[in-house]
Copies of this chain bind each other. A is one copy, B any other.
Amino acid sequence: ECVMTVDLLTDRVDFELDRVDPRRVGRKALAVNLSDLAAMGAKPICALISLAPSRSWSVEQVDEFYAGLNRCGSAYGCAIAGGDLSRTLGPSFISVAAMGSVRRGRALKRSGAKPGDVICLTGELGGSRTGLEVLESGSPDRAPHSVGRFLEPVPRLDISSWLSGFRGITSMIDISDGLASELWHLCRESATGCEISSEALPIAEEAKNWALSIGGSVLDYGLYSGEEYELVFTVDGRRIGRFLAESKGLPRISVIGRMVPAGQGMTLSGPGMKKNLEPSGWNHFHKP
């Protein structure tokens, strides 16, 4: 089966060409789409690129942008198969549409979770927001790993195929708008609630250190850091033992909570604490 996804980036909103190497813009524009394919358990086939560069782009910058796209495409087996080109009198636009394939009936959706399913997460959280903030603070060397995560997100194609092959994964999504926001999508589409354990969230060391150093909330870096491109997914409660056993050799996966009936809403619990989990995150029309 074919799956398809599209993402839109505008200069001054999603990236700032003045500050970021066009190769990185190209790389990231494709990587975020590959992450969407990963979230469905699909393998990339090809991508089509819509580009309307602003008047400030030089031909060299356009070339570098495509070089970044092509390098990323080569790394993950995704052909840059064509696209469309226009002009704009305002800030640049980039839209990437990608197609992937998945074994019939095995595409993972947001809508398959049931109460009792266990919520799992790949990798660590907080790095992307930390990376952006240390870049903005002018001292990127305070969190070099996080800067890399922000500038060069890695789609989790290393683990997504395995996940789509394991019988018992009931839903999946990638974290582009923050964990809390993506959990809200899973709950809404699956008609469930969820309970998340604050202690179980795998928050990156650099994010913890950065949050504490600026007097911020460490937990917020776990729940509300966007552009993480990790995968959050649910495992049928009856299959979780087998899942944990069979996934041992894989990159880091954390159990972070479980699905509950919709009436119980989204909650966050920790030592002596239980509260509603607010599904804030990035929203272009209503900022948190």
Binding site for B on A (CB under 8 A): 2, 4-10, 12-14, 46, 48-52, 54, 81-91, 93, 95, 97, 99, 284
Contact = CB atoms under 8 A, between A and B. Distances in A.
A2 B2 contact: yes
The quantity of this chain's copies bound in the complex is 2
Given A4-B99, A10-B52, A52-B8, A88 B90 contact: yes
A4 B6 contact: no
Given A9-B86, A13-B52, 16 more contacts: A4-B46, A4-B81, A4-B97, A4-B99, A6-B50, A6-B82, A8-B50, A8-B93, A10-B88, A12-B88, A52-B93, A88-B91, A89-B91, A90-B90, A95-B97, A99-B99
Given A6-B97, A97-B4, A97-B6, A86 B13 contact: yes
Contacts of A81: 4
Given A6-B95, A99-B4, A86 B14 contact: yes
A2 B2 CA distance: 7
A-B pairs with lowest CB-CB distance, top 5 = A90-B90, A97-B97, A95-B95, A8-B50, A50-B95
Contacts of A93: 8, 10, 52, 88, 93, 95
Given A90-B89, A99-B2, A84 B8 contact: yes
A86 B52 contact: no
Contacts of A5: 48
26 contacts: A2-B2, A2-B99, A4-B4, A7-B84, A8-B51, A8-B52, A8-B85, A8-B86, A8-B93, A9-B86, A10-B93, A12-B88, A13-B86, A13-B88, A14-B86, A48-B97, A52-B93, A54-B90, A84-B95, A87-B284, A88-B90, A90-B90, A90-B91, A93-B93, A93-B95, A99-B99
